[in-house]
Amino acid sequence: MISRRGVDSHALTQPSHYYRVRRMEKTFTIDEANRTLPLVRRIVEDLVRDHHLWEEKVREFELATVGSSPEHPDVIAELLQIEAQRLASDIEHYIAELNDLGVICKGMDTGLVDFRGQIDGRDVFYCWKLGEPSVQYWHEVDAGFVGRQRLHPLALTPSN
C-alpha cells in the first residue's frame, strides 16, 4: 500500500523542482488507468489543494519580507517560510506517490496527469484532468495538452 503520511525532510523552494519526472516503464491500458484513477484522484486533489496553498504562502512570505533584514528578521515571514516549505515537501511527496504508480504529473495547478499507453503500437499518453469522470483523452508523447484527442468510443469499453 502506498503511504499517504510520510513527508520528505527535503523542502522545495521553487515550483520547477516539482516537475522532477523519472522515466516511467509502466504502460497502462485504458482499463488499468481508469482502475487506478480513484487513488490518483485523491492524490491529485491533495496536490492541487496544497499547490494553491503553497502559492498563497509564498506570496504572503514575499510581502512579509519587504520590511525585514538580517538584523531585524520578521517573525511572521519566518513562520510563513516554514509553512511554505512544509507544503512544498508535501507536494513533492504527492508527486513521488504518482510516480510510484507510474503516473506523470503535468499540471499541479489544474491536476493534469498522464498515463503512458499505446495506440496502434506507438507510445502515447492517456490524459486525465481533475474533474473529469474517467480517462477519456490521449495525446502523442511530444504533443502535450494542446494535442489532446478524445479516445475512440470502442477504446473506452471495458474489456472482459
Residue type, 47: L
Determine contact, residues 98/26, Cβ cutoff 8 Å. no
Mean pLDDT computed over 38-61? 97
Return the higher-pLDDT residue of 156 and 150: 150
Share of the chain above pLDDT 90, in %: 66
pLDDT at 49 over 90: yes
State the pTM of this model.
Answer: 0.78
- DSSP secondary structure, 105-141, as one string: EEETTTTEEEEEEEETTEEEEEEEETT-SS--EEEET
The DSSP output letter for 7 is -
Range with the largest mean pLDDT of 13-17, 41-45, 138-142, 156-160: 41-45
pLDDT reported for residue 158: 55
Return the higher-pLDDT residue of 9 and 35: 35
How does the average pLDDT of the chain come out, rounded? 84
**pLDDT tens column, 11-30:** 334 444 444 444 447 999 99
**pLDDT tens column, 54-99:** 999 999 999 998 877 778 878 899 999 999 999 999 999 999 999 9
80-89 burial, b at 16+ Cβ within 10 Å, e below that, comes to bbebbbbbbb
The DSSP output letter for 10 is P
pLDDT reported for residue 57: 96
pLDDT reported for residue 67: 77
